[in-house]
Chains A and B, each alone.
Chain A
Amino acid sequence: MPPETSLTKVSPAADTSAAELAGLDALDTPTVTRTPWWRRAIAVGLPPLVALVLSIAIWQILWAAAIWPEFQLPAPITVWQAVESRLLTGEVFSILWTSISRAFIGFLAALVIATPLGLLVAKVTVVRRAIGPLLSGLQSLPSVAWVPAAVLWFGLTDATIYFVVLAGSIPSIANGLVSGIDQIPPILPRVGQVLGARGLTSARHILLPAALPGYLSGCKQGWAFSWRSLMAAEIIAAGPLLGVGLGAYLKQGSDLNDISMVFSAIVLILVVGIGIELLVFRPIERRVLRARGLAAGV
């Protein structure tokens, strides 16, 4: 290669290239259209509201048709009165508090146990082979199956309740974290490595944030499982040592043949389950997904 002429390698006129680049950026940048909050609120809030009103209407019609006797299907208004009377005495709040505090303490304990467990299963091959299948199997075991065993081990105490809640939610949370880690694009850990993140630093800066969406959906499911398990445990394990939670309240209603009490308990259980999902998990999940440009339909 004869180097007869030597032109310098300077870039073309800097202004032109800057303008070209700015033009390309302007043309290629994804456009984001933002809908106003009230329109979003209507779009999100209206359909479930209509569905709720419709189902109450159908309930009212079925009751009015008197197909079933009153002690099997109460009127919507009687159920509301059952809730209202206990609202006025404050009994509802103590019942709700008993159950919700149990579910939250149980859920938080499950988080503390399941997170390192999930990390271990995801990152250590031997551990994954050993307990991975068991962990996903446990997810399909209804946690109510643990209640008889727990009663024999711990008697009718809070320990029984917490044991059942933990057994219900730990597998979901751990599995969520495992699948979150499995779905990390392989390029990200590699980037972390070339940028100088090893071991725990890599877990903190790369692994955990990258697995966050999967982990969150595991947490959401874990909450649902811990709430369900708690209700099962409270219904079966009722005793003088245990405070009256929603499950025990439901059981009382059944023992007293008071169908409006039973219905009001079911409604309250539903309201708490949906409420926690909407008020706690949905906003967190939405924020996390939005920040990553993943929140199309959330």
Chain B
Amino acid sequence: MSTTTSAVPVNDVSATAVRLAGIGKTFGSGADAVTALQGVDLDVSAGEFVCLLGASGCGKSTLLNLVAGLDEPTSGELVRPTGSPSFMFQESALLPWLTAGRNVELPLQLSGLSRSARRARAAELLSLVRLDGLADKRPHELSGGMRQRVALARALAAATGPDGTGGGVLLMDEPFAALDAITRDVLQGELLRVWDATGTTVIFVTHDVREAVRLAQRVVLLSSRPGTVVAEWQVTERHGAVGEQLHDDITSRLRQVIASHAA
């Protein structure tokens, strides 16, 4: 299932970055217990781009929290990425009292990197997301799309570590959902370019089938309440009739899953 065609630029297919085997997560106990995840099996290879697709209540946030180490599973076996986790949210969540550059530096600062080294690395990452020379701007002086790119640079700083070899996983929780259509379109292209350039592993949560098909190498469909994996698709191409076909397949399956919750 996880083998991909060689045309796709995958840095190291053999290594597993994240492994979830029979993962379950229940909140509370007794009559009030809520099962968010049940029997989730998912392997993500290093350097892979996986989209998790699901309606509300599919436990995607819970899943990301587990992978990030913010929460522990109730059952199952979980292999976490070796590097530090890094998150990107729907809102950029930049610290408003720090400049763009200092925001990117923060994860490096917390991991104890020297001032000059982290400044150099932050400049490098800002240039990667095409924000050269804007390190001294405050978040409120930037547009929504620019803020999201600063957040991407910060997440990359956390995921790749000081020298760019941290091997962390980028966890993205609908990062483009709050942007306007044009900006979202351009940023999706940017994300692919940055992913190509850095080779990080990406787990990307979205409600948007088109976004999933455009971005991912593999689309994983989750059911809701409790969340579990119901289907997976390999995406080997992005344009043309086959892409449309795939989009329609995934959409109809997603609708089936949603309809099954009617009762």
Task: List chain A positions with a Cβ less than 8 A from chain B.
Answer: 1, 3-12, 14, 17-18, 20-22, 24-25, 28-30, 32, 187-188, 190-191, 193-197, 201, 205-206, 209-210, 212, 288, 291-294
Contact = CB atoms under 8 A, between A and B. Distances in A.
A187 B89 contact: yes
Contacts of B97: 209-210, 212, 288, 291-292
B8 interface: yes
Contacts of B5: 3, 6
A187 B193 CA distance: 27
Contacts of B236: 1, 3, 5-7
A187 B196 CA distance: 29
Interface stretch (B19-27, B116-124, B138-146): B138-146
A57 B91 CA distance: 55
A6 B7 contact: yes
Interface stretch (B32-40, B50-58, B204-212, B237-245): B237-245
A187 B93 contact: yes
A1 B110 contact: no
A265 to B, nearest CB: 41
Given A11-B189, A11-B196, A194 B138 contact: no
A195 B158 contact: yes
Determine the interface band of chain B, counting residues with CB < 8 A from chain A.
35 or more
A28 B68 CA distance: 33
A139 B89 CA distance: 39
Nearest to A5: B237
Interface string B213-254: 000010000000000000001101111101000100000000
A196 B84 contact: yes
A205 B106 contact: yes
Given A193-B70, A194-B158, A292-B97, A21 B190 contact: yes
Given A5-B242, A29-B141, A293-B139, A201 B110 contact: yes
Contacts of B130: 18, 21-22
A193 B87 CA distance: 10
Contacts of A30: 140-143
A7 B91 contact: no
B175 interface: no
B16 to A, nearest CB: 21
Nearest to A16: B189
A228 B7 CA distance: 75
Contacts of A294: 140
B186 interface: yes
Contacts of A7: 7, 236-240
**A-B interface, 4 closest residue pairs, ranked by CB to CB distance from nearest:** A293-B140, A28-B143, A7-B237, A6-B7
Given A7-B240, A17-B190, A195-B86, 14 more contacts: A17-B193, A24-B145, A28-B144, A29-B142, A29-B143, A29-B146, A30-B141, A193-B70, A194-B86, A195-B106, A210-B95, A212-B97, A288-B97, A292-B140
Contacts of B9: 8-10
Contacts of A21: 130, 145, 186, 190
A8 B186 contact: no
Contact of B182 (A1, A24, A193, A194): A24
B111 interface: yes
B9 to A, nearest CB: 7
B141 A293 contact: yes
Contact of B234 (A3, A12, A205): A3
B85 interface: yes
B107 A196 contact: yes
Contacts of A25: 143, 145-146
Nearest to A209: B97
B197 to A, nearest CB: 10
Given A6-B7, A194-B68, A292-B96, A28 B192 contact: no
B93 A191 contact: yes
B14 interface: no
Contacts of A194: 68, 70, 85-87, 158
B183 interface: yes
Contacts of B93: 187-188, 190-191
A154 B237 CA distance: 83
Nearest to B180: A28
Contacts of A196: 84, 107, 110-111, 158
B193 A14 contact: yes
B98 to A, nearest CB: 8
Contact of B189 (A17, A201, A210): A17
A10 B189 CA distance: 9
Interface string B182-206: 1100100110110010000000000
Nearest to B149: A21
A288 B193 CA distance: 37
Interface in B137-165: 138-146, 154, 158
A9 B146 contact: no
Contacts of B89: 187, 191
